[in-house]
């Protein structure tokens, strides 16, 4: 089956900077995407989602952008804080399944 992938396995940013985490997907028919955050020792937590009929969706300090032309998804975190350090997963809905990327580890330097 098709899978969701991530461009970079690790990302290190300075506290206060903006972070951008990327995701490439291969199933052009996918209609829904989710970003999850996984902190050490915990299960993944929902951050934000986006439907395929949208290009952009904003939450609190987070923005997800969807480019269906190149099948690319990104998560932007504004004013990154130490508490944002975690692994971030892009997930693609293939009901009833979900397909998850391997994740990007975000490290925030003080």
Partner 1 sequence: EAQVTQNPRYLITVTGKKLTVTCSQNMNHEYMSWYRQDPGLGLRQIYYSMNVEVTDKGDVPEGYKVSRKEKRNFPLILESPSPNQTSLYFCASRKTSGFAYEQYFGPGTRLTVT
Q: Report the side by side order of strands in the sheet with 72-77.
A: 4-5, 19-25, 72-77, 62-67, 56-58
Work out whether 43 is an interface residue with partner 1 (CB under 8 A).
Answer: yes
Work out whether 101 is an interface residue with partner 1 (CB under 8 A).
Answer: yes
Q: How far is it, in rounded angstroms, from Cα 74 to Cα 100?
A: 14
Work out whether 107 is an interface residue with partner 1 (CB under 8 A).
Answer: no
Out of 22, 74, 76, 93, point to the residue binding partner 1 (CB under 8 A): 93
Work out whether 25 is an interface residue with partner 1 (CB under 8 A).
Answer: no
| Tokens 């969701």 sit on residue | 4
Residue 110 beta carbon to partner 1: minimum distance, rounded to whole angstroms? 27
Q: How far is it, in rounded angstroms, from Cα 29 to Cα 9?
A: 25
Residue 18 beta carbon to partner 1: minimum distance, rounded to whole angstroms? 25
């Amino acid at each position: 089956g098709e899978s969701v992938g991530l461009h970079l396995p690790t990302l290190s940013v300075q506290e206060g900077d903006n972070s951008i985490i990327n995701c490439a997907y291969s199933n052009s028919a996918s209609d829904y995407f989710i970003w999850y955050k996984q902190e050490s020792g915990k299960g993944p937590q929902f951050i934000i989602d986006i439907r395929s009929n949208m290009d952009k969706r904003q939450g609190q300090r987070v923005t997800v952008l969807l480019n269906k032309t190149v099948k690319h998804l990104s998560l932007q975190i504004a004013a990154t804080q130490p508490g944002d350090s975690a692994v971030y997963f892009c997930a693609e809905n293939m009901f009833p399944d979900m397909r998850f990327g391997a994740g990007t580890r975000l490290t925030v330097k003080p």
